[in-house]
């Protein structure tokens, strides 16, 4: 882990996050600037800046967790679609240089960007996280 990395700090518990799922290798939590209700991030716990740097075992773990979380979001929130994306480098839209996957529920006609413009209410994030956690159970 990298001392100054925002997501490494979340893994270490130094910064709060609304956690959805965690195992030995990955962590899923609600995006605090969601593009839509239910926008969830999946990270590998081991620090790697992007897809080009992540070790294959960590990439596999993050991919398996992404699928698990996407299925739970689909079941819990019943969106019309899911946008699953991953950015590499600031020019591509990556705002935190730690490998992560965005799972963004989309409603028909909705035009959601990579991130929302406003910080979400923590209580609202927790309410959605509860629904996703229930779908994981």
Q: What is the DSSP string of 6-17?
A: HHHHHHHTSS--
- Catalytic member of 39, 98, 100, 102: 100
| For helices 122-136 and 56-77, angle between their N-to-C axes, nearest 10 degrees | 100
Q: Is 25 a catalytic residue?
A: no
Structural contact between residues 50 and 96, judged by C-beta atoms closer than 8 angstroms: no
Structural contact between residues 27 and 43, judged by C-beta atoms closer than 8 angstroms: yes
Q: Would you give the DSSP letter of residue 24?
A: S
Catalytic positions = 100
């Amino acid at each position: 882990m990298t001392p100054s990395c925002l997501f490494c700090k979340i893994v270490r518990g130094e910064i709060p996050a609304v956690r959805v799922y965690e195992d030995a290798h990955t962590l899923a939590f609600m995006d605090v600037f969601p593009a839509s209700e239910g926008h969830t991030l999946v990270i590998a716990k081991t620090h790697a800046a992007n897809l080009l740097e992540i070790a294959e075992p960590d990439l596999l773990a993050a991919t398996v967790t992404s699928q698990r979380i996407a299925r739970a979001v689909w079941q819990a929130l019943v969106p019309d679609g899911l946008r699953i994306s991953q950015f590499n480098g600031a020019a591509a839209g990556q705002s935190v240089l730690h490998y992560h996957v965005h799972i963004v529920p989309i409603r028909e006609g909705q035009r959601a960007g990579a991130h929302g413009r406003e910080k979400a209410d923590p209580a609202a994030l927790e309410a959605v996280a509860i629904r996703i956690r229930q779908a994981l159970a």
